[in-house]
């Protein structure tokens, strides 16, 4: 064996053993009929898939950062599993975005080679959590909103989005229950846990305004019967939030503020996203197409 | 052996006591000429075993004389634990893993929030005691919860209903 082959022997070296890119199997939508519905603008549909995919990708990354830092082993497992579900949803959505835009990029190129201004996630998912109470408050807001969104997406005119929605509903139902139970446990716990849970709710809820603002891309796709208007999700969100806050003996902050400035859907992000992308993309960018 | 019979005998990498057919993720096996198209469905969106399952299917079929194998994914209808076969449920129980009950039926309207522990009647797979408690809804894999028997105190895994 020559020295050049020494590293080769360390891996089961098949054609996509590109672990810098991390995905393993080639196409999570292999065999799925990926035609674009009639009357739907390809650019809009690709942008919409990016929005929902980037939400899941960045939230997943923030959750992964909690692994090894959670209070108990069971919560390590829960957070890792929730992050994995969201990563799976991100893969499906980014693959769909890549197919629809048809510009020679794949899910890896979209995840690893875009700059912050090209990401379309809501800013809520970028936030670094000050403590575990912030994490569960943020996850409750995110999962409650995303569950309502995915559920409505099952009726979307794009069969691929409808299928991703139906699958995701089963998963995010568990995510929301997990977050809600922790909010109740901490809010209805000791004086200290109550105070920290209240502070977390006060800090996180005001960030939710962006979740319910209809982006022009969404408005056009709603007219074509292919997307969910996030403004329609607010009543369900408010109901679930109120139910959890009451069970947790917390007082709700003044409610979700209206938000109509440019936001993450327009590529306007918080400074935190650059840090996330540096960690997420660093290896893939430093060794483009690297094979181990 | 037919390609369908070969594919049906491949086991799941995370639950090796189950075949893909037992687990209900093998959706179709189509032979045409010397090629085989196998259609599978993921249990969870992020299931990391999909690639291994694809490799195992391809390898088993190649060994059985089917050199051209294509593995396709189908997302809809989404997998449900109701598709685990009766034989699969027996094998789970024999391995000390409690099989899932019926998947939740959705009423019209929003998905209901569950704030308390799950109220399902799940018996202990070790001692058979009827009362067990949930330790965590997320266990070694996304598809399994961890529970504990209130009589014998043993923890056990439960395939959670989706």
pLDDT in tens, B47-105: 888 888 999 999 999 999 999 999 988 888 899 999 999 999 999 999 999 999 999 88
Binding-site residues on chain B for chain A (CB distance < 8 A): 39, 42, 44-48, 50-51, 54, 70-80, 110-111, 113-115, 135-142, 146, 160, 162
CA pair distance A23, A94, nearest whole angstrom: 12
pLDDT tens profile B138-153: 888 888 999 999 999 9
Residue B155 C-alpha, separation from nearest chain A C-alpha, in angstroms: 13
Strand order in the sheet with B68-73: B26-32, B35-40, B68-73
Cα dist from A4 to A1, A7, A12, A14, A45, whole Å: 8, 7, 16, 17, 46
Please give the residue range of the domain that contains residue A195. Answer: 16-31+43-286
For residue B110, the chain A residues in CB contact (below 8 A) are: 148, 151, 236, 239-240
Domain B3-73: state its class: alpha beta
> Does residue A6 sit within a domain?
no
**Segment B117-133 mean pLDDT:** 85
CA pair distance B59, B63, nearest whole angstrom: 6
Give me the residue label for tokens 């080769």.
A8
For residue B137, the chain A residues in CB contact (below 8 A) are: 78, 174, 177-178
Inter-axis angle of helices A216-223 and A42-64, nearest 10: 120
Candidates A15, A21, A23, A31, partner chain B, best to mutate (most B CBs within 10 A): A31
> Does residue A7 sit within a domain?
no
> Does residue A3 sit within a domain?
no
Per-residue pLDDT, B140: 82
Cα dist from B61 to A236, A244, B55, whole Å: 49, 51, 10
Cα dist from A5 to A20, A21, B23, whole Å: 20, 22, 40
> Does residue A86 sit within a domain?
yes
The count of domains in chain A is 1
Contact A89, A164 (CB under 8 A): yes
Q: Say which residues have a Cβ less than 8 Å from residue A130's Cβ, sequence separation at least 6.
A: A200, A203
Exposed/middle/buried for B40, CB within 10 Å: 0-12, 13-18, 19+? buried
Residue A131 pLDDT grade (very low, low, confident, very high; cuts 50, 70, 90): very high
pLDDT tens profile A177-226: 999 999 999 999 999 999 999 999 999 999 999 999 999 999 999 999 99
> Does residue A242 sit within a domain?
yes
CA pair distance A259, B23, nearest whole angstrom: 46
> Does residue A216 sit within a domain?
yes
3-state secondary structure of B49: coil
Query: With b meaning 16 or more CB within 10 Å and e meaning fewer, what string describes A230-246?
Result: beebeebbbebbebbbe
pLDDT tens profile A66-123: 998 888 888 999 999 999 999 999 999 999 999 999 999 999 999 999 999 999 999 9
Residue B153 C-alpha, separation from nearest chain A C-alpha, in angstroms: 17
> Does residue A156 sit within a domain?
yes
**Segment A171-178 mean pLDDT:** 95
Inter-axis angle of helices A191-204 and A159-187, nearest 10: 140
Q: What CATH number does residue A282 fall under?
A: 1.20.1260.10
3-state secondary structure of B26: strand
pLDDT at B116 over 90: no
Question: What residue ranges do the domains of chain B occupy?
Answer: 3-73, 84-105+118-159
Residue B44 C-alpha, separation from nearest chain A C-alpha, in angstroms: 7
Where on the phi/psi map is residue A267: left (φ > 0), alpha (ψ -120 to 50), or beta? Answer: left
A-B C-beta contacts closer than 8 Å: 118
What ipTM is given for this predicted complex? 0.89
Residue A264 C-alpha, separation from nearest chain B C-alpha, in angstroms: 25
């Amino acid at each position: 064996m020559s020295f050049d082959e020494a590293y080769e022997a360390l891996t089961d070296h098949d054609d996509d053993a590109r672990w810098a890119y991390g995905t393993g199997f080639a196409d999570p939508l292999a065999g799925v009929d990926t035609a674009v519905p009639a009357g739907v603008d390809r650019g809009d549909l690709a942008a919409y898939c990016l929005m929902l995919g980037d939400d899941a990708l960045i939230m997943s990354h923030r959750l992964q950062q909690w692994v090894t830092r959670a209070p108990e082993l069971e919560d390590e497992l829960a957070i890792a599993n929730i992050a994995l579900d969201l990563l799976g949803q991100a893969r499906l959505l980014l693959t769909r975005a890549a197919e629809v835009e048809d510009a020679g990029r794949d899910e890896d190129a979209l995840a690893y080679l875009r700059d912050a201004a090209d990401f379309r996630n809501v800013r809520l998912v970028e936030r670094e959590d000050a403590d575990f109470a912030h994490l569960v408050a943020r996850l409750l807001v995110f999962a409650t909103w995303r569950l309502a969104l995915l559920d409505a997406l099952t009726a979307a005119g794009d069969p691929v989005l409808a299928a991703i929605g139906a699958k995701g509903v089963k998963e995010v139902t568990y995510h929301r229950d997990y977050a809600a139970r922790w909010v109740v446990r901490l809010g209805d716990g000791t004086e200290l846990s109550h105070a920290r849970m209240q502070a977390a709710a006060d800090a996180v809820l005001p960030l939710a305004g962006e979740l319910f603002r209809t982006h022009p891309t969404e408005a056009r796709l709603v007219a074509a019967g292919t997307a969910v208007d996030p403004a329609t999700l607010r009543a369900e969100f408010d109901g679930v939030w109120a139910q959890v806050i009451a069970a947790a003996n917390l007082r709700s902050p003044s409610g979700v503020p209206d938000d109509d400035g440019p936001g993450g859907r327009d590529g306007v992000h918080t400074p935190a996203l650059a840090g996330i992308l540096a960690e997420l993309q660093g290896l893939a960018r430093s060794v483009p197409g690297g094979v181990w | 052996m037919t390609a369908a019979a070969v594919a049906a005998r491949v086991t799941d990498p995370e639950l090796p006591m189950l075949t893909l057919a037992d687990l209900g993720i093998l959706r179709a096996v189509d032979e045409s000429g010397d090629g085989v198209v196998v259609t599978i469905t993921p249990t969870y969106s992020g299931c990391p075993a999909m690639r291994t399952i694809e490799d195992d299917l391809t390898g088993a079929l190649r060994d059985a004389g089917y050199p051209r194998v294509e593995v396709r994914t189908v997302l809809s209808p989404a997998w449900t634990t109701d598709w685990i076969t009766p034989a699969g449920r027996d094998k789970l129980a024999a391995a000390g893993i409690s099989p899932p009950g019926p998947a939740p039926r959705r009423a019209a309207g929003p998905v209901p929030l569950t704030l308390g522990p799950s109220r399902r009647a799940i018996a202990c797979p070790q001692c058979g005691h009827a009362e067990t408690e949930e330790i965590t809804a997320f266990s070694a894999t996304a598809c399994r919860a961890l529970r504990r028997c209130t009589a014998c105190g043993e923890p056990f895994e439960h395939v959670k209903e989706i």
